Amino acid sequence: MSDAIRLLEERASSAGLSWPLRPWPRTGDVRERLAANPFLMAPMAGVSDRAWRLMARAGGAACAVSEMVSAAGLHYGSEKTWDLVRPDPAEDALAVQLFGSDPHLFEEAAERVAERLGAKLLFLDVNMACPVPKVVRKGEGVALMDDPLRAHRIIAACRRGLDRAGLPVPVTAKIRLGRSPYAPSAADVAHAIALAGAAAVSIHGRYGSQGYAGASDDEAVREVARGSSLPVLASGDVRSAERCVELARCPDLAGVLVARGSYGNPWIFSDALRLLHGERVPVHGVDERLGALELHLRLLGLTGEHVLKGRQIACHYVRGLPGAAASRRRIMAAVTLDDFLEVIETLRCRAASAEDPGQIEAEGSWSL
């Protein structure tokens, strides 16, 4: 038994999380697999590491996707790149997102990832949505949407690589409405990748030229979904359980990707599932929030991640708690797990001495 598994067995329940993990269905098309739970943890560069994925899965996410993994990095044998693909023993399964622009490298990467992960690989996702300039300048990310034929070739290449490895798991893609309003659209790209054998497509409701500014255009995403043969998952501005359910109830959509909404809120997935089924959503009070923060911080070390990642993680969890401003200053100065645990103990003491604990919980509610 790994240390992470032991920790989750001991602490998940007190943090309002679930253990063991509920497996994602391995049979049926993507829409059928999402029927029981349509809420997935989105890939986030620099964020969705092993500890984050475990927290999201314990928080009720149907599955979790890796950070963006460079197909070229895998080709050149970069250990740093391969580390992004490595699941923790506590992870029952993992979806891997690849990025790049060369179909040949995607084919090789798909085969090698399948060989490395084996039965733990749920599906491969191709990033055609990242708007970061250093990615787009290389013809990667959302730049791929300018060339639907290349997008088609990349999906087909991934399928060939997986078939050669003897692991024909689904291949999906994450796209935007387009690189800009004047470039090939999401509908064009969705059609091209469907012909290549893609199993589903996730659509972020902004153009690449917008970055993350403005509001995600739900109706534009639904319009693409209505005209596509692929199951469509919605992405963008999914920052609360209520928002998750609003999208999940759209008949045109098959699922929902949650990214920034999971910051300091691993329960967003299980809360959304309860709301979807008409059930009461529990209040995640101070004890659960601090318990989840401590669990997340301890998982960082046990899964091989750097403890300094805990600075940003902790700031999200403590927002709204008594003494949060002073605590954030101490959090940003923390360099060891013990430093973080001291801050957590201080917050627990403040909460215990508060005159109205119910008010703390009300003030502590949040959405990003």
Residues annotated as catalytic are: 130
User: Distances in Å between the alpha carbon of 37 and those of 87, 269, 294?
Assistant: 22, 9, 27
Distance CA 118, CA 97 (A): 16
Distance CA 227, CA 238 (A): 23
Distance CA 227, CA 53 (A): 32
CA atoms within 13 A on the CB side of 56: 28
CA end-to-end distance (rounded Å), the chain: 36
Residue 137, both tokens: 């300048």
Distance CA 105, CA 262 (A): 32
Distance CA 115, CA 346 (A): 47
Burial of 260 by CB count in 10 Å (0-12 exposed, 13-18 middle, 19+ buried)? middle
Give the CA diameter of the chain: 64
User: Distances in Å between the alpha carbon of 260 and those of 84, 240, 368?
Assistant: 19, 10, 7
Residue 13, both tokens: 């329940």
Helices and strands counted in the chain (H then E): 17, 8
